[in-house]
Structure 1
C-alpha cells in the first residue's frame, strides 16, 4: 500500500498517475468472523466486548464490478452499527451477507466467512468500474452508506424505499474500516476541502441520518421556531441534530447525561439543556413497568425551558428506554421521528397520548443520495461541522468500538486507516481558519469520567495480527422471514 499512500501524499499526482498505480493483492481491514458469531452467547449486551471480536487482518482486494469504485481509505469512523456488528446484536450480520449473496453472481462476492465492516470513509478513488463517468481515479471523496440496486420502481421516488436497499459495511461487505473499500459510485460525494481526512470521514452516516430525520420532508420537516427535543444531544447523532436545529432557526432542547456533555451543547449554541442523570429521570419503575409520573415531571421541565410550550418534534433514537416519555411530551399534532433503538427495539407507550392528541410517529432510516448530498454540502460550506472527539489507529478499532459501546465518547470517534497521522488532507486553509473553533469543539471537550476497571482492563484478543500490532442504524429484519 505504500505506493498508493505516496501518490496520495504527493502534491502533484495526476489522474493518470492514480490510474496507473498497481493494485495490491490484499489490504488491511477490520473484520468479524462467521465462525465466532456465537462467541458472546449467554452474556449480557454490556458484557460483550468488541475488542475480543474485531480483527485487523489482511484480506484480498475484491473484484470491481459495473457502477462501482475502489477507494483508498485515508480515514473512517465508528458508528453504532459497527458496535452491533462486533457484538453480533441484534443478529449476526452474516445473515445479511448470505441473503445479499443470493441476489446475483456479482453480489455473491459479499458472502464470505469474514465481514469487513465500517459505514464511513474519506479517501481517494483508485479504480472505477464500467459505466462510471462522474468519478475518476485521484478524486478525493467521502462516501455515504446507502447501497441500492434500483431495479424496482419502488425506489425511484425515494431510494430508501428500494426493496434491495442496504447499509454498506453493515448489510454489505468491504466496508470503510479498512485501507481499501468497495462502494457503488452513487455513494460518492466530494470531500469537504477545509477538513482533514479524519474530520471528513466522521459526519457521513450520522449527519445524513440526522438530516433526513429532522430536516427532510421524508422526516419531521423541521421549520423555524419549532421546539425540538433531542435525546443524546452531544452524541454521534444528536450532535448533528442539535446543529441542524440551531442552523434552521429551531429551539433545541438538549437531553444529555453529564456536565461535560451539557457544556458541549452550550458551546454549540444551545440554551435549553436537561442533564437527565443530574435531575434523576427514571422512566421505568422496573423491567416491565414505566412511570408516567416521570413523563409528567419531564414534560413540566421542558415547559420551564420553553416558556410554557411543549415540543413540536422529538428526535428519537434511544428507543425503549425513552419512547414512552417521548410520545407523552410531544405537543398536540406534533411528531416523534425515530431511528435506531440503542436501548431496545420493543417500544412501549400509552396510545391515548398519541391518538387523542393527533401526534405522528415517523420512522426514519439513513438517507437517500439527495439527502446525503445536501447534508454533505452543508459540511462543505461550513454551515454544519464535524463532531470528531478522538481518533484511533486502525489496529485499535476494537478499543474505539468498546468506547462507543460504553458511551465513553463525545460526538464521533474517528479511525485513521491509510493516513499516517491526524491533520492531513486539508486543501482550503482559509476556510478552515474561519471555522477552526467549531471544528475542534468536540476535541477540546473534557473526557467523560469512566470506571477504572473498564479503562484499565486489557482486552483478550483472538487474532494474531491484533496481538502483534497492539484505531443506525438498527439491524434490518430478515426480508425472507
Structure 2
C-alpha cells in the first residue's frame, strides 16, 4: 500500500492517532494550471474558455514544511469562482501572484513554480505541523479558511485583512486545497464540524466566511434586525449563505434568482420575497456601453411591491458590472451597497447622483479575517448555518466542476472529493446531523 493509501486507511478507520507515525509521501496528486499554457485562451471570450482544458491532475512534490505551517491530508475540497478565474487566466494569470509572493522571502519562494496547485477550501486531517505550532497536532480533523497573512507590519493587527501581505490561499499562493495534500498556515485551521461529511464540511469555507464579513460583521454592512437585504444570486455559492444570515439575523431578504428552480431553493431556506430576473426580463444594459435607467426604476418598483413600499437597507453585491448600476439605484436613502466580487466584470458604472445625493455608501469587502472566519465556522458547527452543497465530483473531474460554476449551471456549492473515496463519510455527531438533516440537504440534487 502506498504512503497516501496508509494515511487514507487510517483516517477511514478512525485511527487518527496513527497519522503522526505514518510517513508523509514525497508527492501527491493535485489540480494544477501550467505557466506555459497561460495564453492558451487568448482571443476567446470569457464564456468560451473551458476549464476542462486548463485544469490538470498532476503528481507534484510535497512542499517543504515551514515554521507556523501545517500539511493537511485533504479528504474533500470545493469549487469557488477564484478557481474559475485561475483556470481561464482572468483577469490576470495567477502566476503573476506566485512570482510576486516568491520575491518576499526564501520560504515564500517555494510558491513560485511553473505549476499552480489551486483550491481555496478543504476538509481533512493534519499530517504534520511546523516549528512554533501549538494549537494543532497530527490527527486533528480540520477545515481551512483561505486567508494567508504574514503580519510582520502594523497594518494587519487590527484587522488581518488589511495586512500588506494578505493573500488568498490557493489563488494567490500555491499548494491549495484541490489536492490530496495541502500546505496551509496554522492560523488558517479551524475544527471540522463534526455532524457533516467531509464534502459538506469542505464546501462552506470561503463563501460562508465571505458572506459573514460582508453582511454581518462591523467590517461589512453590520446588518441588524428588520433590515431589507437585496441579495443577488441568492441561491448561489455566496448568496445562499447571505440568505441564511439574513433570515437568522431577523432581516428581510429579497432574493434575486434566475430560474424557478433557484427560486424554490430560496423558499426552502425560508425566504418569501423572490425576484426571478429572467422571468421579469430585466435588461439593465441597452448595449455594451450604455445602461437603461428605466430598467433600474422597474426593478426598484418590483422590490417595493414585495416589501410593502420599502427600498433595501443593504444590497449584497457580487455580480459587478452587470448589476452594479441597478444596485446603487435600488438602495434606500442612506443605504449600503456592499461588494465582494465582480463575476460579470470589474469595471463598474453607476449614476453617482443616486449615491451622493442620497447619502448611500459603497463598502468593499474581501473574504474575512480569522475571527470572522472562526465565528462563521462556529455557526456551521452548531447547526445554525448549513452547507449548501448540491453536487460532488471526483478529483479527476474538477475541470467539469469548474465549468459548471463558470457557466452558472450549478446551485449553491460544488464539492470535490480528494482522499475521501466516496460521499457520506466523516460524520461523528449523528444526533446533531439528524436534527438538521433537511437543512443540510436543502441543495442536494436540485
Band of TM-score, shorter chain: over 0.9
> What is the distance in 2 between the residues matched to 1:239 and 1:9?
31
Kindly report which structure 2 residues correspond to 1:59-208, keeping only aligned pairs within 5 A, or say none.
59-208=60-209
CA offsets 1:302-345 (integer angstroms, 9 cap, x no match): 00000100100000000000000000010000000001100000
> What is the distance in 2 between the residues matched to 1:382 and 1:247?
12
Aligned equivalent of 1:257: 258
Q: CA deviation at 1:107?
A: 0.2
Aligned equivalent of 2:316: 315
Aligned equivalent of 2:31: 30
Aligned equivalent of 1:408: 409
Aligned equivalent of 1:299: 300
Q: CA deviation at 1:407?
A: 0.4
CA offsets 1:204-228 (integer angstroms, 9 cap, x no match): 0000000000000000000000000
Is 1:6 aligned to residue 9 of structure 2? yes
> What is the distance in 2 between the residues matched to 1:428 and 1:339?
34
Instruction: List 4+ stretches of structure 1 deviating above 6 A.
Output: none
Q: CA deviation at 1:236?
A: 0.3
CA offsets 1:6-56 (integer angstroms, 9 cap, x no match): 111123441xx2111101110000000000000000000011000000000
Q: CA deviation at 1:255?
A: 0.1
Scaled by the length of structure 1, what TM-score is found?
0.92
> What is the distance in 2 between the residues matched to 1:12 and 1:198?
20
Aligned equivalent of 2:232: 231
CA offsets 1:185-234 (integer angstroms, 9 cap, x no match): 00000000000000000000000000000000000000000000000000
Scaled by the length of structure 2, what TM-score is found?
0.99
Aligned equivalent of 1:385: 386
Aligned equivalent of 1:356: 357
> What is the distance in 2 between the residues matched to 1:444 and 1:51?
23
> What is the distance in 2 between the residues matched to 1:162 and 1:90?
23
> What is the distance in 1 between the residues matched to 2:202 and 2:215?
21
The alignment partner of 2:279 has SS state of coil
Q: CA deviation at 1:57?
A: 1.0
> What is the distance in 2 between the residues matched to 1:70 and 1:13?
15
Evaluate the alpha carbon distance shift between residue 327 and residue 132 of structure 1 in structure 2; reply closer, same or farther with a 3 A threshold: same
How many residues are treated as equivalent by the alignment? 443
Aligned equivalent of 1:371: 372
CA offsets 1:325-375 (integer angstroms, 9 cap, x no match): 000010000000001100000000000000000000000000000000000
Kindly report the root-mean-square deviation, in angstroms, between the aligned alpha carbons of the 2 structures.
Answer: 0.5
> What is the distance in 2 between the residues matched to 1:64 and 1:198?
26
Q: CA deviation at 1:444?
A: 3.8
Structure 1 residues without counterparts, runs of 5 or longer: 446-481
CA offsets 1:362-410 (integer angstroms, 9 cap, x no match): 0000000000000000000000000000000000000000111000000
The alignment partner of 1:414 has SS state of strand
Kindly report which structure 2 residues correspond to 1:274-285, keeping only aligned pairs within 5 A, or say none.
274-285=275-286
CA offsets 1:441-465 (integer angstroms, 9 cap, x no match): 10042xxxxxxxxxxxxxxxxxxxx
Is 1:212 aligned to residue 213 of structure 2? yes
The alignment partner of 2:124 has SS state of strand
> What is the distance in 2 between the residues matched to 1:216 and 1:300?
29
> What is the distance in 1 between the residues matched to 2:202 and 2:114?
27
Aligned equivalent of 1:473: none
The alignment partner of 1:6 has SS state of helix
The alignment partner of 2:336 has SS state of strand
CA offsets 1:128-149 (integer angstroms, 9 cap, x no match): 0000000000000000000000
The alignment partner of 1:407 has SS state of coil
Task: Tell me, yes or no, if the aligned pair for 2:16 and 2:140 is still in contact at 8 Å.
Answer: no
